[in-house]
Structure 1
Amino acid sequence: MNYTYLVKCADNTLYCGWTNHLEKRMEAHNQGKGAKYTKTRRPVELVYYESYPTKEEAMRREVQIKKLSRKDKLFLIEKSESLH
């Protein structure tokens, strides 16, 4: 399975990425081995994710989410939390 995800960093910024192993990716971000962006903004908290059968679909969604404003990203997070 492939995932598109949003994490909230220690400085309250939001970072979007994709991975085929969500748990390992979160661990890497928190150890400073993730994306360059999150290395100096640890710890990170997983706040949103979606799963996709293919890498291409996950990457496409990542691009869409990155284009969203912060307000829209926060709305996406709120919406997903209300479903759980």
Structure 2
Amino acid sequence: MPWFLYLLECSDGSVYTGIATDVQARFDKHVSGAGARYTRSRKPVQVLVSFELADRSSASRAEYWVKRLSPAEKRALAAGLRTLDSVLPLPAPAEAAAEDEAGAA
């Protein structure tokens, strides 16, 4: 089952980062006040972008790195001026070798 990393624009101009399996359902929860504490006081206005990832682990890892970006960098990501891959660290050499072997099989 795919997971999604998503960015929301909030009413105060901030950008919220989260993960979910159903972005629209999660957005609706944020709007209703049943989402994250952060979005209860900063009402979400719209979904800026979402990225499909293979699993929860990948989505959580991406969320960790995206949350470290400045609001301007998050907006650049949402606008397509940056790629999600450009935000994530390069895999360790052992991971890259294992991925290459898996791809060759």
Give the TM-score of the pair, scaled to structure 2: 0.71
Q: What stretches of structure 2 of length at least 5 have no aligned partner? A: 82-105
CA deviation after TM superposition for structure 1 residue 41, in Å? 1.2
Q: Find runs of 4+ consecutive structure 1 residues off by over 2 angstroms.
A: none
- Percent identity, aligned pairs only, is 30
* Letter matched to residue 46 of structure 1: V
Quick check: which one's strand share is greater? 1
Give unpaired runs (5+ residues) of structure 1: none
Query: Structure 1 stretch 20-29 or stretch 40-49: which is displaced more?
Result: 40-49
CA contact (8 A) 2:8 2:44 kept: no
**What TM-score do you get using the length of structure 1 for normalisation?**
0.88
Using CA pairs under 8 Å that are at least 6 residues apart, name the structure with larger relative contact order, 1 or 2.
1
Tell me how large the CA RMSD over aligned residues is. 1.2
Question: Which structure has the larger Rg over C-alpha atoms?
Answer: 2
Query: How many residues end up aligned between the 2 structures?
Result: 80
Indicate if the aligned counterparts of 1:29 and 1:44 stay in contact, CA closer than 8 A: no
